Amino acid sequence: MANIPSEPEFEQAYKELVSTLENSTLFQKNPEYRKALQVASVPERVVQFRVVWENDKGELQVNRGYRVQFNSALGPYKGGLRFHPSVNLSILKFLGFEQIFKNALTGLNMGGGKGGADFDPKGKSDNEIRKFCVAFMTELSRHIGADTDVPAGDIGVTGREVGYMFGQYKKIRNQWEGVLTGKGLTWGGSLIRPEATGYGVVYYVQHMIKYASQGRESFAGKRVAISGSGNVAQYAALKVIELGGTVVSLSDSKGSLIATSAQGFTPAQIDQIAAVKVARQQLDSLVSTEAFSSGDFTYVAGARPWVHVGKVDVALPSATQNEVSGEEAQALIDAGAKFIAEGSNMGSTQEAIDIFEAHREQNKGGAAIWYAPGKAANLGGVAVSGLEMAQNSSRVSWTTEEVDRRLQDIMEAAFQNGLETAKEYVSSAEGALPSLVAGSNIAGFKKVAAAMGDHGDWW
């Protein structure tokens, strides 16, 4: 990668994968997979284009649009679209690279990709957002399709944006097909899709708790710190409460809301936070409201929650990449956390991962903190996107119960796959829990590399 500009986010994701592969027996048992890694680390195709649109003042605006079509060995490219001013090629390559192996762990036929634009929906009118989505899809439509590339939502892309883009795709191509996921329920969307990532990470942690405690513990009575306040964080919080846990924090880019009472957040308070986020407002706007000014909450401006939550049992980073630093990782260990699972993509820095993994290796079973990477723990969203694709292909709609059952099965299979693969390829100290980050990386990579080999992509 020395002949291309520095891409720090992508390089971090690449090095994290490579380090776990190198520190396992995978290349000893399958030396040919080194060539597969070399090929898989380069996207099959990167599309970059300009997006020209007009704001409500009649002024011309120009943004950069992207689609990174990283790997199609297992199926059509699949991954979200992100509209945020921070979007650049490095971030989209990192997300697309992670998506390859995340999608492999779902067990569904999906390749990996990611896309978006450096457009900021905040402060824009519905009309401006519609105009941007129409201009964006006008170009993107020539590069995607139900059997080619199926984008979804991500940061800044909700059901509203998906609807605008789907409408424009349909007009240009003159066909209705499942080309986007996260659609409205009346026109091809799947039940449980908005909830899926948040629910999925909690289902995954359920299996971690059960395995580490040998079936003696569950979420009941656990104090759970969550970052973020979007869909992932909201639905993870609601599922934790449903399972008997206590949610002690939520956050956004401006600061963290910390519960100081034994009750923690209630479902009604989370609903109020959801309404604020739909209105594209910040959590600090809630501080003076009746629900949050009773003394049961404190707001910490400009900070993530990890060093402010006190004693916790579970941490679920659910905001954005690199939101847990090495210092914060140690703070979570000192606070008694035993389980950390990423609802966000690459939520922990490499330093944080190293601290979590060292603690796991040096402590037996229940005494250790056990870390699960985003590519395994947060795959519930893309899994239900895959289920939405299946429903679209057969022109049927499954019930909430059916989709939720399939989601639970997929999360359990992903946990077991990472667990058993770690036992097979990674040595651990006696009594230590298996490395879920190594096991998940190896399991996802093996599946993709084998398919690429069958296709003749790295011979």
- Give Rg (Cα) of the chain: 21
Ligand-binding site membership of 78 (annotated): yes
Q: Which residues, 6 or more positions from 109, have their beta carbon under 8 angstroms from its beta carbon?
A: 74, 75, 386
Give phi and psi for 80, each to the nearest 5. Answer: -75, 170
Ligand-binding site membership of 55 (annotated): no
Question: What CA–CA distance (Å, rounded) separates 81 from 96?
Answer: 10
Q: What's the chain's length in residues?
A: 459
Q: How far is CA 275 from CA 12, 229, 294, in A?
A: 35, 11, 20
CB 445 within 8 A of CB 98: no
Q: Which residues, 6 or more positions from 389, have their beta carbon under 8 angstroms from its beta carbon?
A: 110, 146, 150, 178, 181
Ligand-binding site membership of 99 (annotated): yes
Any idea what the Cα angle at residue 96 is, between residues 28 and 151, rounded to 5°?
140
Question: What CA–CA distance (Å, rounded) separates 233 from 202?
Answer: 10
Q: How many CB atoms lie within 10 A of CB 285?
A: 12
Strand partners, 316: 226
Number of H helices, E strands in the chain: 15, 12
Q: Residue 38 has which token pair?
A: 């070399």
Candidate list 15, 29, 35, 114, residue with the active-site label? 114
Give the largest Cα separation in the chain, rounded: 67
Question: What CA–CA distance (Å, rounded) separates 56 from 59?
Answer: 7
Q: How many CB atoms lie within 10 A of CB 132?
A: 27
Question: What CA–CA distance (Å, rounded) separates 121 from 128?
Answer: 9
114 is catalytic: yes
Binding residues: 78, 99, 102, 153, 197, 231, 385
| Residues noted as catalytic | 114
Feature table: binding site for substrate: 78, 99, 102, 153, 385
Q: Which residues are annotated as a binding site for NAD(+)?
A: 197, 231
